[in-house]
Chains A and B, each alone.
Chain A
Amino acid sequence: MEWETVIGLEVHVQLLTKSKLFSGSSTRFGAEPNTQACAVDIALPGVLPVMNKEAARMAVKFGLAVGATINRRSVFARKNYFYPDLPKGYQISQYELPVVQLGRLVIDVDGERKEIGITRAHLEEDAGKSLHEEFEGLTGIDLNRAGTPLLEIVSEPDMRSAREAVAYLKKLHVLVRYLGICDGNMQEGSFRCDANVSVRPKGQHAFGTRAELKNINSFRFVEKAIEYEIARQIDLIEGGGKVVQETRLYDSVRNETRSMRSKEEAHDYRYFPDPDLLPLQLEAGFIEETAKSLPELPDAKRERFVREYGLTAYDAEVLTGAHEMADYYEAAVGAAPGQSKLTANWVIGDLSGYLNRDNLEVAAAPVTADMLAGLIRRIADNTISGKIAKEIFEAMWGGEGDADAVIEKKGLRQITDGSAIERAIEDIMARNPKQLEQYRCGQEKLFGFFVGQVMKATQGKANPAQVNELLRKKLSGTPA
C-alpha cells in the first residue's frame, strides 16, 4: 500500500527580551542557578504578573511577517499541571484567543513552492529546568528560565515529508532571526521543535492517529526522527497493529523514537482564563508602529538580490540565509561597485569557509566587508590575480592589515608588464626544448605545463590572461 505522511510542527521560540514575560527578572542565559528567579517566578504567595510590552511587540512582529491576523484582544489562560519546575502549578499561556492567528509561510523543496499554514502563535511563559543527575534520589530545580517569554508557533498539518518539515523549520528559523525576536540558538534551547507525525493510506481524507515527537532540537534530528517515526508507524500498521496517540522522545544516539509516558491523566490541563491578567488589548497605533519597524524580510531580500545584483537564485538564497550575512554582502558590494558576482563568490566561498573553520559569526570576521571590498577592487583592476587574492585573504584573516598593505608588504603586485612575462616565457622555452618540440608536434595539452612553469617562475604574480595570450604566440613561433 502507498502511504502518505502528515506532519505539523509546534515551535517554541524564546523571545529576545531583556526581562521575563511577567516579571522584571533577567532572561540572560547561563547565570548561576536561581539567581534570576524572583518572587513572581518562584510563585511566592501574593505576587501578581505584569506583562512585558516588548514581548507583545515581538509577537505582533511575527504575526505581521507571516501575513497573519493580529487579534486586537487576546486572553491569557492557565494551563494546569504539576511538575516541580513549574512552581505555580500552572503555566500562563493563551488558549482560546491567541494573539496571532492564521498566517502562512512559503517553502521551496526541490524547486517546488508550497504554502504552509500557520494556525496560531501564542505567548506563554517557559518553565524552569530539572536536573535529575547530580543528587541521589532527588531532583535539583533551577528556575532561572521560569517565566522567560515564549512564542509558540503552531503550523497546520500541511507538510507531507520530513524534508518539507525541515524546510519549514529552517524558513521559520531565518525569519525569527531577521525579525530580531529570537537568537535561534538551538543548543541553548532558544528555538525548540515538536513534531506531530501520522500516516494514512494515500487518497484517504481522514488523518491517521498521530504521535508527538519531542527532543528534536537540530535540523538533522528533526529529519531523522520524522523519517524513523514514519517507518515505525507504517511497519506497525502493515503488521496489523495500531498507532496510539502518545508523546515519543527521539534518541539521537540510537536514532529511534521511544514512548515517553502514557498521559491518561496528565493531559487534562483544565484551561481557564487567568483572573490575574486582564485581556491583552492592542491599540491599532501600536500594531501600525510595529508594522513600520519590520525589516526587509528574507523572501523580499532574496528577490531583490537577484534583481539588483544579478545573482543566481542559489547565490541569493545562500546570502540571505542570515541577515548578518546579507548585510555584510551589501556593505562589501557597496564598497566594490560593479563587482556583485565576484563579491558573492568570495562571501559564499572563502569568507564562509573561514568562518566555519574558526567557528565564528560573520560579525566577528577578522576580514571586514570593507577589507573584502578592498581586495576585490585589486582583483578587478588587475593588481592581483584571483589566486594571489586567496593568499592575501588568508593574510588579512591573520591580522596582517588590509589588501593594499599585504600586497605591498609581500610584493604581490601582479606582473602586467608584457616584456617581463615574455622574458620569463623565453627562458622557460629555452630550458624545456623537449616539451617545446612535443607541443609544436601537436601535443597541445602541454600548454598547461608551460602555464604552470611561467606562474611558478613569477611566483604566481603574472596576469593569467596575459600569460595565456603571450604563451600561445611564443609557443606557436609567431613573432610577437
Chain B
Amino acid sequence: MSLDRTDVERIAHLARLEVGEQELAAYAETLSRILGLIEQMNAVDTEGIAPMSHPLDAGMRFRADEVTETDQREVFQSIAPSAQAGLYLVPKVIE
C-alpha cells in the first residue's frame, strides 16, 4: 500500500499539522515506506498469538476513589493564553 499526496493532505488535516506543498511528495514517500514495513509484519502468520496492547506484561495499577486534588485554577490560568470568569477562552468553535 502506498500513499499519494491527497492522502497525506488528509492525514495532515486530521492531525492539524501544516504540511507545505513541496513537502507532500516527500511525506508520501516516507510514510509509504513505513506502511510497507507494516505490510511486511502483517504477512507474518500470527495465528494463535494474543494481540499485544502494551509492551509491558503487566496489569494496570489502581488508585482508591478519593479526591486528592485541590483547586489550582489560578495557577493554571496564569499561563493560559486567554481566560475570563474562570473559563478558558478559545476561538468560537460552533458552526
Contact = CB atoms under 8 A, between A and B. Distances in A.
Interface stretch (B18-26, B28-36, B37-45, B50-58): B50-58
Contacts of A357: none
B47 interface: no
Contact of B92 (A24, A33, A55, A139): A139
Nearest to B65: A54
A73 to B, nearest CB: 8
Interface size class of A (residues with CB under 8 A): 35 or more
A220 interface: no
Contacts of A50: 61-63
Contacts of A420: none
Contacts of B87: 33-34, 131, 135, 140-142
Given A24-B69, A273-B54, A278-B58, A139 B89 contact: yes
Nearest to B10: A265
B1 interface: no
A190 to B, nearest CB: 17
Interface string A98-133: 000000000000000000000000000000001110
A245 interface: no
B18 to A, nearest CB: 14
Contact of B73 (A37, A84, A141): A37
Contacts of A56: 62
Contact of B60 (A131, A138, A279): A279
Interface of A: 17-19, 23-26, 32-39, 42, 44, 50-56, 73, 75, 80, 82-84, 97, 130-132, 134-135, 137-143, 261, 265, 268, 270, 273, 275, 277-281
Given A139-B90, A140-B88, A53 B69 contact: no
Interface string B2-16: 000000001001101
Contact of B14 (A25, A26, A270): A270
A26 B71 CA distance: 10
Given A50-B62, A132-B94, A279-B53, A141 B89 contact: yes
A141 B68 CA distance: 23
A25 B53 contact: no
A138 B92 contact: yes
B49 interface: no
Contacts of A23: 69
A19 B56 contact: no
A19 B68 contact: yes
Nearest to A286: B62
Contacts, number: 130
B13 to A, nearest CB: 7
B59 A52 contact: no
Given A84-B93, A135-B84, 10 more contacts: A24-B66, A33-B87, A50-B62, A73-B59, A83-B93, A139-B93, A140-B89, A141-B89, A143-B88, A278-B58
Interface centre among B14, B53, B66 (most CB of A within 10 A): B53
Contacts of A97: 53
Given A84-B93, A137-B92, A18 B10 contact: no
B91 interface: yes
Given A135-B84, A138-B89, A270-B14, A278 B62 contact: no
B65 A53 contact: yes
A110 to B, nearest CB: 42
A34 B76 contact: yes
Contacts of B54: 273, 275, 277-279
A19 B91 contact: no
Contact of B85 (A18, A132, A140, A270): A140
B86 interface: yes
25 contacts: A24-B69, A32-B73, A34-B76, A35-B73, A36-B71, A38-B72, A50-B62, A51-B61, A51-B62, A53-B62, A53-B63, A55-B65, A56-B62, A84-B93, A97-B53, A130-B93, A132-B92, A137-B91, A138-B82, A138-B90, A139-B94, A140-B88, A140-B89, A142-B87, A278-B58
Contacts of A42: 76
